[in-house]
């Protein structure tokens, strides 16, 4: 039986100097705002699937992406524009074809790590 004089721990009851405080971030606020935009862009299954396809396949033509996802070219193009505006993909035009690829290795690792983490049985 619990002692009635024991009070439940209150996390907010620490003296502000008791633990030495937390260090402030060395990153500028703009980096946090940009990261939020990146996570927003990643926060859609179709966009994440597109990024994962680009991670696996490398540079891919819009029409190939549309065919592989059974979607219209305009739908895929719109999705890619959003991903490009977030800085997650880059594009290259060759004649009438437009090719997309992941922007850099940071994006590849972000996509891969997110999917690897989501695949773990952590529940």
* Chain segment 60-78, per-residue pLDDT in tens: 999 999 999 999 999 999 9
pLDDT single digits (tens) 2-42: 555 555 556 666 776 777 777 887 888 999 999 999 999 99
Average model confidence (pLDDT) across the chain: 89
Residue given tokens 């004649």 in the structure block: 95
b vs e for 86-98, b when ≥16 Cβ sit within 10 Å of the residue's Cβ?
A: bebbbeeeeeeee
Cα atoms found within 13 Å of the Cα of residue 79, Cβ hemisphere only: 22
pTM (predicted TM-score) = 0.79
Q: Which helix (H) or strand (E) holds 100?
A: strand 97-102
- Choose the CATH number for 48-123 among 1.10.3720.10, 1.10.10.10, 2.170.190.11, 2.40.160.10: 1.10.10.10
């Amino acid at each position: 039986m619990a002692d009635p004089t024991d009070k439940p721990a209150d996390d907010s009851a620490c003296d502000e100097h008791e633990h030495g405080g937390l260090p402030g971030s060395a990153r500028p606020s703009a980096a946090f705002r940009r990261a939020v935009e990146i996570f927003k862009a990643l926060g859609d299954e179709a966009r994440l699937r597109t990024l994962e396809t680009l991670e696996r396949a490398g540079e891919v033509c819009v029409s190939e992406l549309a065919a592989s996802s059974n979607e219209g070219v305009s739908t895929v193009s719109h999705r890619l524009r959003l991903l490009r505006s977030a800085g997650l993909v880059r594009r290259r035009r060759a004649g009438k074809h437009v090719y997309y690829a992941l922007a850099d290795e940071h994006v590849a690792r972000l996509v891969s790590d997110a999917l690897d983490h989501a695949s773990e049985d952590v529940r």
